[in-house]
Chains A and B, each alone.
Chain A
Amino acid sequence: MNILEVRNLKKSFGSIQAVKDISFSVEEGEIFTIIGPNGAGKTTTLEMIEGLVTPDHGEIQFGELNWNKHTITIKKKIGVQPQSSAMFDLLSPEENLNLFATFYDKARSTEEILKLVNLTEHRVNQVKKLSGGQRQRLAIGLAMISDPDIVFLDEPTTGLDPQARRNVWEIILELKKLGKTTILTTHYMEEAEKLSDRVCIVDQGLVVTLDSPSALIEKLTNEREVRLSFLDGEKAAQDAELFASALDSVTRTEREGTALKLWTIKPEDLLFDLFKFTKDKEYQVEQVSIREMSLEDVFIAYTGKEWRD
């Protein structure tokens, strides 16, 4: 069932078309990731969905509900962690959570949330003394205080070190276990691949493509890149290249000194044949790898642009 449906959203700020045309729907219980470079229109899209920015055009439906008629009901159903994780710096995490809890009729206990976002130890420190990662986790906690059905996280891991980022990932996966629907934005392809059920790639205010990470990569191509290097000098590599290019499954080869790159649609068969060949010739092979395609390749394939974090 679709818990959220967005159709043909458009928004301009003066002469800047921040969102040109964005449509998607989100299913209940999934982690839905919007990924795109700086200025792609992610935050603007989220803010329209969150009811903060009025779209110039388009529709936003939360099941049966929409912003015109059900403002308060929707506000109670959603939890938001904005990009600028805004909170009261002079209050402690506990006090922030307690204050936000009073805004809702029913709220989860502060205790529970502190545990969920792993801040029990820092409950009484003023927020201004927290680290970036702790702050970010509190922002997620504040989004969770009302026990919302849908959680919006705008770049929850930007600027965090790998350990802190992994902590946030755990929290997000925890939300999924609780049956929440999570919509998050990110710059990190790795993050989108790891966490999301479905990924929506946006660029310059438009949806580039949308599907599950594995489907996106599969759709892109079923070619794999295999890399090997030879210990017995260029001659060995040359022989191997010659052998491989004669195979049906190999579409392309490339050699640089003793390093060989082969493109194939059947990497397992290729390796089987190739190792038989090198064993006969008594060539020694080191560093064998099959490179997986990633979402970055998807982005490059669709936009023709290099991906930068």
Chain B
Amino acid sequence: MNNLKQFKQMFLAQLKLTLREKQAWFWGIFFPVILMVIFMTIFGGRSNDDFSTKVAIVNESSNETSAVMAKQLRQIPIIEVSQKDPISEKKAKVLVKEKEVDAAIVLPESAKATSIKLIVNKENEQSVSTQVVAGVLNQFIQQANLQAVGAAPTFEQQFETISSGSSELEYTDFLLTGMIALSIAQGGLFGMVDLVDMRRKGLIKRLRMTPAKMGIFGLSDMVMRLLFSTIQIILLSLIGVFVFGANLFINFPSLLLVFLMGALSFNGIGYLISSFSNTNEAYMGVANIVSFLMMFVSGIFFPVETMPDWLQPVSNILPLTYFADGLRDSMVYNTSILSTPLWYGFCIMLLWGGIAFIIGSLLYKRKSIVSVR
């Protein structure tokens, strides 16, 4: 009973301390929001251009099937048809060769014909746009086949699916979840500077002169930090969804667990840093390096797959990689809490947080808080 009262009062004090700490609000809330807005404005817009491809449509002998297909192809957002009217195959080949267009699509010559031909420049065979066009065309053909056997869903529906999965929106979701992961990670990584400050000012020593239960104090501190991170996640999500049109499909049990694991893991690392830093500056220096390194190799702004091969093994052991992935799985892909990759990520995060916490505790014990004047 008395413990509960102590917890309540300590939590209340923590709440006031956090509310009055302007730095915390700047770095924890304002800064991530600004960073996200900047990144989304710059990269969210450009990726749209990157991924739309110029295509020429060849429809030499116009027929019923090809007319429908030509119309449908024009509706796919990332395919930009270069000419208003279909052109001849010969002319299309010239355009491809001169790289006026990324590809040419040759529609069936008659209603009975079953092949659709894709013409691309040899040099561009492996390029992103070729892959995209080929992928889209493939989908398109499958639908056409389905329709041909009479089991057809409408073309219209299929196109919507393709468009909502288009790269621009995916990047918004990707960046949003990445930014959430980053701000919670930094909250833990930087937040423990309070501990260094308290030790430096002799506050920890002061508390130890009282019968106060330090465990309860730690717990109230942790609950406050989780609350702060919850504010971060909600605020960033709201901005992502309402300003940048991110699509979230949240699995709440998974999200809750990912959130807890990530927050605890990074607070553990922060705790370790605090155990060997005697000044705020020393702490911030180490925390900055750690955060900076993790930020760029953990797939926050760009997918891990886009990084050089030799760097990827590093990404694969960092907790931030799994935290960001976990958030993507639970917030965008509605991944169930039973998914194996999710638990693999939990293990890695738990390992980092746990080991950091244990080493930190040992270091704290060894130098005994009192010896720091």
Contact = CB atoms under 8 A, between A and B. Distances in A.
A82 B202 contact: yes
Interface stretch (A25-33, A86-94, A114-122, A163-171): A86-94
Contacts of B10: 99, 102
A90 B9 contact: no
Nearest to A75: B211
B17 A80 contact: no
Nearest to B209: A80
Contacts of A91: 13, 16-17
B16 A72 contact: no
A95 interface: yes
Interface of A: 13, 47, 50-53, 72, 75-76, 78, 80, 82, 84, 86-91, 95, 98-100, 102-105, 126, 146
A51 B208 CA distance: 9
Contacts of A72: 211
Contacts of A53: 370
Contacts of A98: 9
B173 to A, nearest CB: 38
B339 interface: no
B9 A86 contact: no
Contacts of A78: 209
B9 A99 contact: yes
B2 A87 contact: no
Given A13-B371, A84-B373, A88-B13, 10 more contacts: A47-B370, A52-B370, A75-B211, A82-B209, A87-B203, A90-B17, A95-B13, A99-B13, A100-B210, A102-B10
A105 B2 contact: yes
B210 A86 contact: no
Contact of B16 (A76, A84, A87, A95): A95
Given A102-B10, A103-B6, A90 B21 contact: yes
A126 B19 CA distance: 13
Contacts, number: 63
B209 A75 contact: yes
Interface residues of B, number: 24
B5 interface: yes
Q: Which 4 residue pairs of A and B lie closest in terms of their CB atoms, listed nearest first? A: A86-B202, A103-B212, A86-B206, A102-B9
A87 B206 contact: yes
Given A99-B9, A102-B6, A52 B201 contact: no
A87 B202 CA distance: 8
Nearest to A78: B209
22 contacts: A50-B209, A78-B209, A84-B201, A86-B203, A88-B17, A88-B203, A89-B201, A90-B17, A90-B20, A90-B21, A91-B13, A91-B16, A91-B17, A95-B16, A98-B9, A99-B9, A99-B10, A102-B5, A103-B6, A103-B210, A103-B211, A146-B210
Interface string B151-170: 00000000000000000000
A86 B205 contact: yes
A95 to B, nearest CB: 7
Contacts of B20: 90, 126
Contacts of A88: 13, 17, 203
A98 B203 CA distance: 16
A180 B370 CA distance: 27
Given A90-B21, A99-B9, A75 B202 contact: no
B215 to A, nearest CB: 13
A86 B6 CA distance: 20
A146 B203 CA distance: 18
Nearest to A80: B209
A99 B373 CA distance: 24
A80 B202 CA distance: 13
B206 A82 contact: yes
Contacts of A99: 9-10, 13
Interface string B1-13: 0100110011001
Given A47-B370, A103-B212, A86 B5 contact: no
Contacts of B203: 86-88
Contacts of A90: 16-17, 20-21
Counting chain A CB atoms within 10 Å of each CB, the highest count among B21, B203, B205, B211 belongs to B211
